[in-house]
Structure 1
Amino acid sequence: MQAAAPDLWHHYGRTRADTDRGVPDFFPWIWAQDGGPGSEVLGDVTGLVLADLGAGAARHAAHLVVHHAPARVDAIDASAAQHAMAGDLYGHLAPRLRTLHANAAEHLEAHPDEYDVLYSVFGGLDFADPRRLLPAAARALRPGGLLAAATLGHYLGGAPAEPDVQHADIPARTPDGTPATMRRWVLQEHVWTKLLDEAGFTAIGVDRLPPATSGARSADTLLLRARRHK
């Protein structure tokens, strides 16, 4: 029997979770999470069914549930640690907020035509192969449904995004602190557009959002929006 892969997201967000347990007042899209457009990117979600792909601690999902009256938001994450953290922070918002421990692509493939809106904020679209995730997203959306995602416009440190569908291996840590790597897809605008088109999306748009402040780890954000064909 093959051993389970270590949870490379085990350490992420733990310090913040110890001191900040509130529901955020704002839904940020840009990399630094300190400005830019908010939840209006998703349109009016009142009464709709949404999913957050790679939700982490589910802070964005919690904001939507508390402030925008969706029927349900599914906060999906493959990390056991992130799933547990989301449940600890926002389990009281069930059943309108569901925290799901699942691989995003596998979950979407198993739930065709279920969602009105899918979104990812430096989450699933960054860390899963888009050649599988995007077609799964198109199938899981209802006709005309919206996919919105924020992803890096270039590598941290300034190196340009990839001109083809190529991942990078970035540093990570196992739960016991051992150095490791995980895959991240940092792609140019035309690559995302091509992938979305091939997956069956229409009305594809990509906006480049500059950082609110500059610094060594500041980065442009690509805000992707597309709809499943009707």
Structure 2
Amino acid sequence: MTTTADLWYHYGRTRAATDRGVPEAFRWSWGQDSGPGPEILGALNGRIVGDLGAGSARHAAYLAAHRQPAGIDAIDASPAQCDMGTSLYGHLAPRLRVVRSDVIAHLRTAVGVCDALYSVFGAIDFTDPRKLLPAAAASLRPGGRLVFATLSTYLNGEPAQPDVDPADIPARTPGGEPATMPRWVLQEQVWTKLLDHAGFTRINVDVLPGSPETLLASAHRAPG
């Protein structure tokens, strides 16, 4: 059986060795130092929330500790990231649940369950949005909210794509060998069209300043 290398094995590992506390802030911008906070998600008390591509679950840990959702699933396909999240924030269970799963597969098991979904440079960036966004819409209750932060341009300054095309970006295997993974960096109007086709309404996309700039998109599942 062929297995896929965990291309997120190295991500965040150095930070996790020294910074093990629950974050004191939640930011959407690339630099994580400015812009709006979790209030964009709306009131989360008693709600069911999903973090799409949660990495080591730092954003999910903040929400679990400070926003009192009924439950929040920190979903990530990377074994290394899920192990890190469990090590860092396992004490926040059962409110916080670290879920090792392909994001689309998980959403398809939770149809009409979630009140809010979000991604902070997570699965929205690294999963075909033509598949992910409809799965997210189906997982939300009518009126439920999706919010995501994604790149406005590529990290090297190249402009975003005018079509739904990914670019291969550098990555490393657990052993350090060079590899690539796809990343979707799309223009604002492309995201708006994708969200509309997936069944979302009240779509809004803002640009947050920074280097690079961040696209912050929010939308609601259409009623009915």
Task: State the TM-score, normalizing by the size of structure 1.
Answer: 0.96
Could you report, residue by residue, the CA deviation over 1:191-220 in whole angstroms, capped at 9, with x for unpaired residues?
000000000000011001111xxxxxx200
Describe how 1:82-93 pairs up with structure 2 within 5 A.
82-93=81-92
Unaligned 5+ residue runs, structure 2?
none
Task: Report the identity percentage.
Answer: 63
Name the aligned partner's letter for residue 6 of structure 1: A
Describe how 1:33-112 pairs up with structure 2 within 5 A.
33-112=32-111
Name the aligned partner's letter for residue 88 of structure 2: L
Could you report, residue by residue, the CA deviation over 1:168-194 in whole angstroms, capped at 9, with x for unpaired residues?
000000000000000000000000000
Measured in 1, the distance between the counterparts of 2:199 and 2:60 equals 26
Measured in 2, the distance between the counterparts of 1:124 and 1:75 equals 11
Measured in 2, the distance between the counterparts of 1:45 and 1:86 equals 21
Describe how 1:171-190 pairs up with structure 2 within 5 A.
171-190=170-189
Name the aligned partner's letter for residue 188 of structure 1: Q
Question: How many residues are matched?
Answer: 223
Tell me what 2:222 maps to.
229
CA shift, 1:109, in A, is 1.2
Name the aligned partner's letter for residue 219 of structure 2: A
Tell me what 1:8 maps to.
7
Tell me what 1:202 maps to.
201
Tell me the C-alpha RMSD between the 2 structures. Answer: 0.6
* SS in structure 1 of the partner of residue 169 of structure 2: strand
Measured in 1, the distance between the counterparts of 2:98 and 2:72 equals 9
Tell me what 1:220 maps to.
213
Task: State the TM-score, normalizing by the size of structure 2.
Answer: 0.99
Could you report, residue by residue, the CA deviation over 1:98-136 in whole angstroms, capped at 9, with x for unpaired residues?
000000011101210010000000001000000000000
Query: Runs of 4+ in structure 1 displaced over 3 angstroms?
Result: none
Unaligned 5+ residue runs, structure 1?
212-217
CA shift, 1:44, in A, is 1.0
Name the aligned partner's letter for residue 174 of structure 1: T
Measured in 1, the distance between the counterparts of 2:113 and 2:77 equals 19
Measured in 2, the distance between the counterparts of 1:101 and 1:172 equals 20
